[in-house]
Amino acid sequence: MPTKVAIVGQGYVGLPLAMSATGAGHTVLGIDRDEKLVASLNSGTSFIEDIPDSALAEAIKNGYRASSSFEDISDCSIVVVCVPTPLDEKGSPDNSILVSAVHSISNFIKSDALLIIESTIAPGTMRRVVAPIVVDKLGNKEFDLVFSPERIDPLNKKWNLQNTPKLVAGMNDRALARATEFYSTFVSEVVPGSSVEVIETAKLLENSFRFINISFINEIAIMCNALNINVLDVIEAAATKPYGFMPFYPGSGIGGHCIPVDPIYLASAAREAGSPSRFIELARDINSAMPAHFVGRAVEKLGSLSGKKIIVIGVAYKANVADTRESSSVRIIELLKSAGANVSWHDELVKNWRGEKSSKLSQDFDLAILATPHDNIELDALGSVPLIDTRGAN
């Protein structure tokens, strides 16, 4: 049954969710503290590659609007939280944005509302952190609390919000039933979990699996380079096995809002429980070392980097998106500069970053490092400039 829904956080997770819910007939309010973003969304301008302006305009016509005020959720029957849960400056889990959002929501959420958390969290966070905040604010008023982790993969042409199974776990049976009914209006398969702790951990397991396997293939790529073997040919050959193998591909590290972050939440919870995860810690070390590996490759090609003109191609964390969160290019550029190189970067999707503008590709460089291969990058413009391809091609 269509209802009024507030979705807190209108980023790469919240906005696609808002569009899907609106398309299913719900009246959707998108809440975000960024007033410029709110104004942009209400004017019909999307900043997310998966959501064209035309889709946003259609949603606005069907009742979607954005707001920066939590007061507006007071008449919403369902509130979904899609705010970031990043790492802090020390590389530890940081729930402060989520905690702040839950406090703000609890000031205005109506009695008997359904509150859903989609943000990635460590096992036990729903029961030990989120629930007490809401109980403290609402007292004896009834409310339903659910955890349903996002599974967004930007620009994935095969798997999207509608056809990716949705994990749902409620703090009670009624909460689970309500959330299942809501998500079933626009997701083809809703999978109930036996407890919120199971689903909290399942989300972290999914991305820790990728995190560890990417670190492994990065290590294999380094080994193949030392043996003068093309790692991409090795992966292609191994991938012919129809069982027991899944191809992963090397790169300059791991970036984005999930893969480099989620395993650290799991590792942190494991340490607190007295059962540290050696695999995750080792994978983190390997992936963190990849930028230094490629700067070392640059030294092998050029000798001293002092005064050398080097361009890093791609500062987004993933091909064909403009998101720079946790991008390994940041560390590559820092290390190159600390070695005395004159560093430029090229990324026509990002365009402006850290007070600098994207540089054009040309033959006026001593070396190019391909970090993130967006489509339609004109590498031919480099001419004879030596190129290090972090994906393993050379």
Residues known to be catalytic? 258
For residue 230, how many other CB atoms are within 10 A of its CB?
A: 14
Q: What φ, ψ does residue 142 adopt, rounded to 5°?
A: -75, 145
| Cα–chain center distance at 176 | 26
136-157 burial by CB neighbour count: b if 16+ within 10 A, else e? ebbeeeebbbbbbbbbbbbeee
Q: Contact, 360 vs 221, CB < 8 A?
A: no
- What tokens appear for 111 in the block? 């009695």
392: left (phi > 0), else alpha (psi -120 to 50), else beta?
left
CA–centroid distance for 15 within its chain: 14
Q: Which residue has the tokens 């380079």?
A: 225
364: CB partners within 8 A, 6+ apart: 309
Q: Pick the closest to residue 250 from 285, 223, 272, 279 (CA basis).
A: 223
